[in-house]
Amino acid sequence: MKLKCSLIILVLSFVIVNPAVNAQRVNPQVVARVKATLTIDGKVYKDLNSNGTLDDYENWELSVEKRVADLLSKMALEEKAGLMAIPEFQDIEGSKMEQHNNLINQHARYYVYRKTPGVDEIANTNNQLQERTEGTRLGIPAVLISNPRNHYTTIADITNLGETEDYYVTAKDEPGQFTIFPDSLGLAASRDLDLVKDFAQIARKEWTSSGLRKMYGYNADLATQPLWSRILETFGESPKLVSDINYTLIKGFQGEELDDTSVSLTTKHFPGGGSRYLGKDPHFEEGNFNIYPTKGSLQKYHLPPFIAAIEAGTTSMLPYYAYPSNKSAEQGLPPYDENQQFEEVGFIFNKAFLTDLLREKLGFKGYVNSDTGAIIDMAWGAKHLSREERVAKALEAGANVFSGQKDPQPIINAVKQGLVSEGQINQSVSYLLTEMMELGLFENPYVDSKRALDVVNNPASKEKADLAHRKSIVLLRNDQKLLPLNDKKIKDMKLYVESFPAGEQNANTIAFKETIQNYDRGITLTDHLEEATHALVWIKPKQDLLSKQPTISIGPDTNIHNKSRIIEIEKTVPTITVINFSNPWLIQEIEPNAAAVIGTFGVKAEALMDVIRGKFNPTGKLPLTIPAGPEALAIDRMDVPGFDEDPSYVYQAKTGDKYGYDFGLTYNEEDRKTESGGFGDFLRNIFKN
């Protein structure tokens, strides 16, 4: 009892005497650039509606619930509807911000931001936007939303199926930019949750310093269909690993509770986007359904990562475009009717998934954010409905806000036509206002562009990222212990280097060679294969996001137009073949001829060279299973991880090693661990009934 009392006194003393903790909680920094402020008893508040008095929603000393209720009571239907429609952020034209005045006047406050300038420019854009919104009738602030930014390559949502560029957003590793960590698959390959936590905390500071306060991420999807073009956004195929990483990321970005230092996360794509028929994506009609051919696969494999996200407190969930197909095997959920297991409408319209499963069964307390254009171009199963009817069906199902929806008028019309009650609108708007207030945006939405530059240019962050790059690299094969290339081995070595795809005038190869020479002068390079003693090739295939016939064969369809050159090099001299796995590529034609094989997942060339030279002992493990070849794809069950597929599914090297989930060698003992990544049964009680 004495110990408990002492601890309580210690905690209370810390809160009372620590001014940083106390000030942050009860006396936030209040910054107004357009509206006046009110000073009462030495405390500052914004007069956001310019009435000269302190309204409840302006009073940061009150509970968020009370503030939200007060603001809701003051909002017109048009203002509420505008908050629920999330448009794409357009470029600012000059100081007048012409394009955005129209959207602001339509009461839009959430914007999807996809540009990748320096953080100082993002910060300045945020500040201009916040000044415009502060100047409106109620002074409701804006929220800039982005997809993940701290990786070399991410995929932006496809918003116009007639366009073919800008779906891959390529980050820049240079001063003034966000710190670049390995791709999502690379973080998974590191198997280091402490490092994942460090990453989240670093990225969180960078995002908040630039004014980005909400993320469409991360993915809780499983990589169970190797042809799917969005596997590079996932954390692989293991439900346990994907669950652990998402839990860690949510806690890292958001904290235990949202506050003015948080980035609010939207976990996607509920209830799991990885089970794709022939890899076809639901951006297109050909792939507009999710099918689960294996009994119980939804609960066993695909839902656990979302359960972990709920337990971690993710702010919102983003359902996929697809609808659940009745060609699926039994999944243990209550049937839609006596003849159908599922209602075949997109998940954003599907009450059985959003309300019955997500909210009631799994206990989700946050809000549901539609995928971009999910009630417009990709309203699968509901395209026969009017826009107002789609809004009503989605809200009735459990949705709350609509991404890619520029015009709020269908939401307004749905209320006026009696399809939706204003109470439903209020519930959705309450979620958003709560998020804004918890993030501290009503008090101070502004950021310092110079400070943003200091944050992203922090050398300690770069060092942690460099470690993550090195820990993500997977050594797959190492014949006669060719690697590492220590100083003794390179003494008489002439190394031929080539990168694929070659690019214009071999630009990729030139850049790779320059990096090697600048980073490690001990290596002698040659431009002529005939005089080389060894070779190093780095192969980076890439899928076409818009392909309606996805493939993972390395060749022209994956941007590798000279595969025969790779094989020629491998057969001429002992070759270190490096393959960047944004998908589990079919490697049966190029892997056998190599002398050593390395897997990467969006890493820096310097990190690769540190592993090759032995400056870093490889520790990475495959986050997914490499299929044996085209015949393996024919037996792939699409909703089952590779480690639970037939044993013949896994690629086997000439050494006898199988390149399955969790495989990876080291230099010390060349560990041949290939154990299963099964998730266990700890979640089964959730689904007893």
Tell me if residue 217 falls in helix, strand or coil. Answer: strand
CB 598 within 8 A of CB 611: yes
pLDDT tops 90 at residue 645: yes
Q: What is the pLDDT of residues 517-531, one digit of tens each?
A: 999 999 999 999 999
For all residues of the chain together, what is the average pLDDT?
91
**How confident is the model over 325-351, as a mean pLDDT?**
97
Are 410 and 382 in contact by the 8 Å Cβ rule? The answer is no
- What is the percent of the chain with per-residue pLDDT over 90, rounded to a whole number? 84
* 642 contacts 662 by C-beta, under 8 angstroms: no
CA distance linking residue 40 with residue 53, whole number of Å: 10
pLDDT for 2 beyond 50: no
State how far the Cα of 577 lies from the Cα of 536, in Å rounded to an integer. Answer: 6
CB 156 within 8 A of CB 594: no
Alpha-carbon distance of 493 to 488, in angstroms, equals 9
Q: Phi, psi (5° rounding) for residue 330?
A: -60, 130
Cβ(203)–Cβ(150) below 8 Å:
yes
Instruction: Check pLDDT > 50 for residue 585.
Output: yes
Contact criterion met (CB below 8 Å) for 266 and 319: no
Tokens of 53: 């008095």
What whole-number percentage of the chain has pLDDT above 70? 89
651 closest CA partner among 674, 629, 632, 628 = 628
Q: What is the pLDDT of residues 286-335, one digit of tens each?
A: 999 999 999 999 999 999 999 999 999 999 999 999 999 999 999 999 99
Rounded Cα distance between 187 and 465, Å, is: 10
Rounded-to-integer distance, Cα 224 and Cα 639, Å: 5
DSSP β-ladder status, 323-324 and 534-539: unpaired
Structure-token pair, residue 101: 């005045």
3-state secondary structure 4-27: HHHHHHHHHHHHHHCHHHHHHHHC
Residue owning tokens 């968020």:
64
State the pLDDT at residue 678.
36
Smallest CA-to-CA distance from 570 within 620, 522, 529, 611 is with 529
- Ranges 8-12, 88-92, 401-405: which has the least confidence: 8-12
* H helix or E strand, kind and range, residue 624: none
Q: Cβ(582)–Cβ(543) under 8 Å?
A: yes
Average pLDDT over residues 50-74: 98
pTM, two decimal places: 0.92
Q: Are 21 and 14 in contact (CB under 8 A)?
A: yes
Task: Look at residue 10 and tell me whether its pLDDT is greater than 90.
Answer: no
Q: Read off the DSSP letter of residue 57.
A: G
**pLDDT value of residue 349:** 98
Residue 1 has pLDDT above 90, yes or no: no
Phi, psi of 604 (to 5 degrees): -75, 145
Asked whether residue 15 carries a pLDDT value surpassing 70, the answer given is no
Q: Is 644 a catalytic residue?
A: no
Tell me the mean pLDDT in the region 633-659. Answer: 97
pLDDT value at residue 9: 36
Q: What is the dihedral angle through the alpha carbons of 254, 256, 258, 263, rounded to the nearest 10 degrees?
A: -10
H-helix or E-strand spanning residue 112: strand 110-112
Catalytic residue among 198, 371, 466, 639: 371
Q: Tell me the residue type at 604.
A: K
